[in-house]
Each structure stands twice: as structure tokens, then as C-alpha cells.
Amino acid sequence: MKNRDVVDIFNQIADMLAIRGDQIHRILAYRRAAESIETLGRDINTVYAEGKLTEIPGIGDTLAAKIEEMLTTGKLEFYEKLAKDVPPSLVDMMRVEGLGPKRVKQIHDLLGISTMAELTAAAREGKLRELPGMGVKSEAKLLSAIEALSVHGDSRVPLGVAWPIAQQMLDALQQVPGVTRAAVGGSLRRMKDTIGDIDLLVAAESAEQVMDRFVQLDLVETVDSRGPTRARVTLLTGLGVDLRVLPIERWGTLMAYFTGNKDHNVKLREMALKMGYSLSEYSFTPLDGGAEILCASEEGVYSRLGLAYIPPTLREDRGEIEAAKTKSLPVLIELEDIRSDLHMHTEWSDGKYSVMEMAKAAREQGLDYIALTDHSASLGIANGLSVERLRQRAVEVKEANDVLGPKFRVLQGTEMEIRADGSLDYPDDVLEELDFVIASLHTGLSQPREQVTQRMLSAINNPHVDMIAHPTGRLLPDRPGADLDMDAIIAAAAATGTILEINANPARLDLRDVHARMAIEHGVKIAINTDAHQPEDFGLRHFGVATAQRGWVTASDVVNTWPLEQFLDYISRNNG
């Protein structure tokens, strides 16, 4: 077995346990293990041979024994026993938008459906509408989702999975003698939330040495092609990676050519043609046969076309070329602009560290202030806080401020659940006690658009709610989130001054980039937060900043670039 085989089995076990209704901690253990192996960067057979399976994050003795069994026998007895109770084919049904483990179990138990084919037939024959809580509209929506899945598939990889793999490969290639530059290209460099494959770009004196190192990396399973300056491999995870190597004097055209999306690049080439040039990854070549023009920098490429430099995250043909012509591109927010984090969890709910530990870690990150926003009571799966426990935590918040102040501030906050009926988890008199109030959706995400939108609007219109976190509640790659009417959400946020969050966790990246752009165009303020559950999660912030950049967001649009006094004044005025 290879890495991908172990990852697939552990992920499948997690889904089967979820369908069966096992404890969440057991399910998460298999998911974390699968994630660690997916980003391992080495052949797991080699790790096993070295006796180091338990050194993989999330792998204890029990899971190590299961990995050993798979690697040595090619099967897993626990999986085979579980499959007798929960048919593995039920997992495929969870790929359908709107189908979670509970609904899949209901469909299986009440209708005897075990496969996608049976599910499709039942939907077309009108049998699903007979299920409790389904109905004709829900059945039609489910059928549309089934058909969309059959056409488009779901093979894209989340940004959070691809990014560390690409960085690991770049680190290795940069050690090759003669390499002067190395970077990612394509949708990964544009920081899209999901990618199809990885593009790696290298400037080097000798392409051959780089190619030799590339195809011999520990992550590589097969070499699909290799030429003088380009190669393609498939990794142990099944992810495809393309490498392109050119001399440093061609770096600018190489990067420009392999970064923009198709439509962006077509426009650049059309502009070049009108100016009498052919534009490729190699150079500008005069159409009249003159000497080619090399560009060692991307700035040189855009300058020759009469354009201001366009940041990689904008190269999607969404008006950036037109703005570059008139020198009206926005000055995008940068990582260094962030001064606070307004969404994180401690051991009081589902975090792993104390109030003081999270506060100290944030201060060490260079932040000026934070909001502690543990979950509210109704989210029992996350150990949500009762009113009594919320007030008890306030004692620790005060202690942290006494120790770490006055130049660092910890705000007493909450991530309050918006219940399925649209009511909020805490009464207004409790919310008045807090410095900062987040409202969010975690349950009932498959409700019809009108219903789930009204739930969100009820929170936005509550004067004590300062921010909406990860609005749709999506989880990449498998949970699409609520079908919100974002026009209505953004209009309400603009009217009330409610902040909308870009959640920087790469499994969320929610607000999406297009919605972030809509929001700032309507004057809505944005927050970029990590949703940290441990200090290491603060390192995810760059994903949120990149998503904001893709939405044309500037520093002034983002509340956690502001000094504490300005931020407190803003939320105080809105609550007033």
C-alpha cells in the first residue's frame, strides 16, 4: 500500500463511523491521521521500516498498529468488520451536496438504498420525498446535486493540502546547485481555495540537475513525463505536479505565463500582438523577426504591455487588466497589516490551550489585541459554554489582561450559535456583558435558502452581534455550506455595520473571495481571523489574507488592521 491508500481507508473509516453515529472524537482521530499522512512528504512504508510511525502527528500506538497491518497484509480487519455494519458505498453518497451522515443513514435504514445508482433512481422516481423532513423541493434539489456531481466530479484538492506539499518540494529544489529562484505557479500561486494540480517554476543554470532531483523526491510515486526543461510526476497522494525550468533571464515571462488563469493570459497575449510581439514563457518575440526581448521580472512583463504590475492573486480576468491600464488597482492588504485576531478558542470549549497560553502566543505573534470566542452552549459537540461557564472564563480573561497589559488586550467574547429556528444562543442581557460577539452557523446548513438566510439575518439585525463568522459554514472539500442569499446578507451587514469574517483556516476560506469583493463594494467591513484552536493555527493567517487579496480588499477595509481604540469605537457605535 502507498500513502494514498492509507489516507483513503482512514478517511473512509471516518465517514463510515460518522454514518454509524460513533463519538466525534473517534471520527476526528481518523481524519487527523489521514491529514497527517496526506501531507507527510515521505513514503509511509519507509517511515514504517524506520519504526517511526508514532512520530507522525496524530498517530498513536493504536493507529500505528492499523497502519502496520495495512502495509504488511494489504488489508485491515477493522475496516472489513465495519464494512459489514456500514456498507462502504454509503460513503460515496456523502459526496452529494446536502447529504450528511445522518441523512445517508436515514436513506439507507428507511429505503434500503446503499449505492449512488440506487439513490439516483430513487430521486428520479420520487421516493426520497417520503422521508421525514425531505419533501418535493428538497428531493429536486438533491437530484440536481447528484447530476452535478456526475458531470463535474470532485477531484480538486484544497489549498491547505496543496500548499505545504508544494513548499516542501520547493525547499528541496532550492538546494540544487545553480538554482537561483523557485516558486509555485498556476492556481496555487493565485491562492484559489482548491487546485487541480501543482505548478513549480525554477530558474537555474542547468535544468538537468533540477530534473534529476525532482523525479527522485520522496513524495514522487511515478514519473509521467520528462523533457529537457519540463517534467510531470504523480505524488504518493495522487496529486499531479508539473515542473518548468528556465534560465533566470527568462524568469519574468515564465512566471507571468504560468500564473494567470487562461482568460487573463489570453488578454495579455492579445495586447502583445497589437504591439507587434508574440508573448510566451520564454520572451517577447517581435513579429517582424527581430531579436527577442527577455524579461527577468514580472514587473518588466507588465510594464512592457503598458500595465501596472498586477499581483498574482488578482490574475483571474475580473477587471484587473482594465484597472492596471488606468493605474487604478487597489493597494491590497498584506500580512504585515494585521494587528489582531478576533476569533479563537481555548480549552474552555474545543480549543487545546488555556486563556493565558493563547494570549501569550498571540502577543508573541506581534498582535496588539485578541478576542477569545469560545463556542456557546447549544454547540454541545464543541463543549459550548453555559452562561455560568462564560462568566467563569471572564475571570481568566481579566487575569490575562492584568499580566499582559497594558499594551496588549484580551477581549471577552463568544462565538454564539444561530439556532435552527433562527434564535440566538444567549439572551441580550448576557451579550451586553461581552466585549465582542460573533454569531455563526454550524448546524442546519442544508435548510432551504430562504430559511437559512432568515436565520442569518436575524443574527445580523441583533444590535449586540458584532461579526458573522465563516458565513456559509462550508468545509473544503466535502461540505459546500449553507445556500445563503449573499446579496441579502451583505445588504444587511452594510445597513447594520456588522463585520463579515474571512476565516483563514484553509478548510473554510469563508467569506469566499467573490463575496468579500461584493462586501467591500457595499461598504461592509471585513475581519481576517484564524479561528485558532492552538497557537500553531495563527500561522494560517496568510491564507485568509490571500483570500482577501483575491477579493480586492485593502487594509482599511479590514477591522483587525485598526488600533484597538478605533476598533472598539466602531463596534460600540454599531451596538449603540
| Count of C-beta atoms within a 10 Å radius of residue 276 | 12
Instruction: Give residue 4's pLDDT.
Output: 83
| Residues 305 and 176 reside in one and the same domain | no
**Which range marks the domain in which residue 308 is found?**
257-325
Give the rounded percent of residues in the chain with a pLDDT score beyond 70: 98
- Domain CATH code at residue 127: 1.10.150.110
- Domain CATH code at residue 424: 3.20.20.140
Model pLDDT for residues 404-437, shown as the tens digit of each residue: 989 999 999 999 999 999 999 999 999 999 999 9
Instruction: Give residue 99's pLDDT.
Output: 82
Instruction: Give residue 382's pLDDT.
Output: 82
Res. 575: pLDDT tops 70: no
Specify whether the CB–CB gap between 232 and 225 falls below 8 A: yes
Model pLDDT for residues 12-54, shown as the tens digit of each residue: 999 999 999 998 888 888 988 988 887 776 789 989 999 999 9
- Domain CATH code at residue 261: 3.30.210.10
Q: Residue 386 and residue 362: Cα distance in Å, rounded?
A: 26
Which residues, in sequence order, are bridge partners of residue 451?
A: none
Which H helix or E strand runs over 492? helix 486-496
Q: Residue 544 and residue 285: Cα distance in Å, rounded?
A: 38
| Residues 180 and 284 reside in one and the same domain | no
> Residues 329, 335, 341, CA angle at the centre, nearest 5°?
125
Domain boundary, last residue among 246, 272, 288: 246
Res. 154: pLDDT tops 80: no
**Dihedral sign, Cα of residue 317, residue 321, residue 322, residue 327:** positive
Q: Residue 36 and residue 171: Cα distance in Å, rounded?
A: 19
> Is 252 among the domain residues?
no
| Residues 147 and 162 reside in one and the same domain | no
For residue 135, the SS3 value is: helix
| Residues 131 and 199 reside in one and the same domain | no
Cell digits for 183?
516558486
Specify whether the CB–CB gap between 203 and 161 falls below 8 A: no
Helices (H), 218-308: 251-257, 262-274, 298-304
Cell digits for 200?
513549480
Model pLDDT for residues 64-90, shown as the tens digit of each residue: 999 999 999 999 999 999 999 999 999
Res. 134: pLDDT tops 60: yes
Instruction: Give residue 92's pLDDT.
Output: 87
Instruction: Give residue 148's pLDDT.
Output: 65
| Residues 314 and 361 reside in one and the same domain | no
| Count of C-beta atoms within a 10 Å radius of residue 60 | 12
Task: Name the pTM for this structure.
Answer: 0.80
Res. 152: pLDDT tops 60: no
Q: Torsion-angle region of residue 195: left (phi > 0), alpha (psi -120 to 50) or beta?
A: beta
| Residues 419 and 551 reside in one and the same domain | yes
Instruction: Give residue 155's pLDDT.
Output: 62
Q: Is 437 exposed, middle or buried (0-12, 13-18, 19+ CB in 10 A)?
A: buried
Model pLDDT for residues 199-225, shown as the tens digit of each residue: 999 999 889 999 999 999 989 988 988
> Is 276 among the domain residues?
yes
> Is 305 among the domain residues?
yes
| Residues 449 and 504 reside in one and the same domain | yes
| Residues 92 and 221 reside in one and the same domain | no
> Is 389 among the domain residues?
yes
Instruction: Choose the weakest-confidence range: 234-238, 264-268, 347-351, 396-400.
Output: 234-238
| Residues 570 and 496 reside in one and the same domain | yes
Which residues, in sequence order, are bridge partners of residue 414?
A: 437
Specify whether the CB–CB gap between 159 and 543 falls below 8 A: yes
Mean pLDDT of 322-332: 97
Q: Residue 238 and residue 441: Cα distance in Å, rounded?
A: 33
Which residues, in sequence order, are bridge partners of residue 182?
A: 202
- Give the DSSP letter string of 171-198: HHHTTSTTEEEEEEEHHHHTT-SEESSE
Instruction: Choose the weakest-confidence range: 112-121, 276-285, 489-498, 501-510.
Output: 112-121
> Is 399 among the domain residues?
yes
Specify whether the CB–CB gap between 267 and 321 falls below 8 A: yes
| Residues 268 and 415 reside in one and the same domain | no
Instruction: Give residue 151's pLDDT.
Output: 56
| Residues 269 and 355 reside in one and the same domain | no
- Compare 9 and 3 and report the one with higher pLDDT: 9
> Is 251 among the domain residues?
no
| Residues 370 and 232 reside in one and the same domain | no
The rounded Cα 104 to chain-centroid distance in angstroms is: 25
Helices (H) and strands (E) counted in the chain, each on its own, are 24, 16
Domains in the chain, number: 4
Domain boundary, last residue among 299, 325, 351: 325
- Domain CATH code at residue 192: 3.30.460.10
Domain boundary, last residue among 246, 278, 297: 246
What is the identity of the amino acid at 343? Answer: H
Cell digits for 194?
482548491
What is the identity of the amino acid at 163? Answer: W
Chain mean pLDDT for the chain: 93
Instruction: Give residue 143's pLDDT.
Output: 85
Instruction: Give residue 291's pLDDT.
Output: 93
> Is 90 among the domain residues?
yes
Helices (H), 21-130: 24-38, 44-49, 61-73, 77-85, 89-93, 101-111, 116-124
Mean pLDDT of 336-342: 98
> Is 567 among the domain residues?
yes
